[in-house]
């Protein structure tokens, strides 16, 4: 009986302040998630409770959620 390789999902996620940080994170993790990586970069706005209660019209700071994932053979 031939055994096929067992794979596992590898996923790295973080939040960064700018796109340069997002791409740096992607490039740092890319080789660790296998030959067919999935990359997601999404803008998010961080609003604290204090900011929400203050009633100011100032826009909250934008950050980026970054996810790099893929399948690698289990060792």
Question: 1 lies in a domain?
Answer: no
Tens digit of each residue's pLDDT (9 = 90 or more) over 40-56: 999 999 877 766 666 66
Look at residue 17 in the predicted model and tell me its pLDDT: 96
Tell me the backbone φ, ψ of residue 61, rounded to 5 degrees. Answer: -70, 140
What CA–CA distance (Å, rounded) separates 72 from 75?
9
* Residue 60 confidence (pLDDT): 83
Which residues span the domain enclosing 16?
Answer: 7-73
**pTM of this prediction?**
0.81
The segments of the chain whose pLDDT lies below 70 read: 50-57
Q: Is residue 64 part of a domain?
A: yes
- Within a domain: 14: yes
Q: What is the pLDDT of residue 65?
A: 98
* Cα separation, 69 vs 73, whole angstroms: 13
2: in domain: no
Residue in this structure with the two tokens 């060792």, named with its chain if needed: 75
Q: Is residue 40 part of a domain?
A: yes
- The number of distinct structural domains making up the chain is 1
User: Is residue 67 situated within a structural domain?
Assistant: yes
């Amino acid at each position: 009986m031939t055994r096929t390789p067992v794979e596992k999902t590898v996923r790295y996620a973080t939040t960064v302040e700018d796109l340069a940080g997002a791409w740096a994170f992607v490039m740092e993790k890319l080789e660790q998630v296998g030959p067919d990586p999935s990359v997601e970069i999404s803008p998010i706005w961080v609003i604290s409770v204090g900011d929400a209660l203050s009633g100011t019209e100032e826009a909250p700071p934008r950050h980026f959620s970054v996810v790099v994932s893929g399948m690698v053979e289990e060792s």
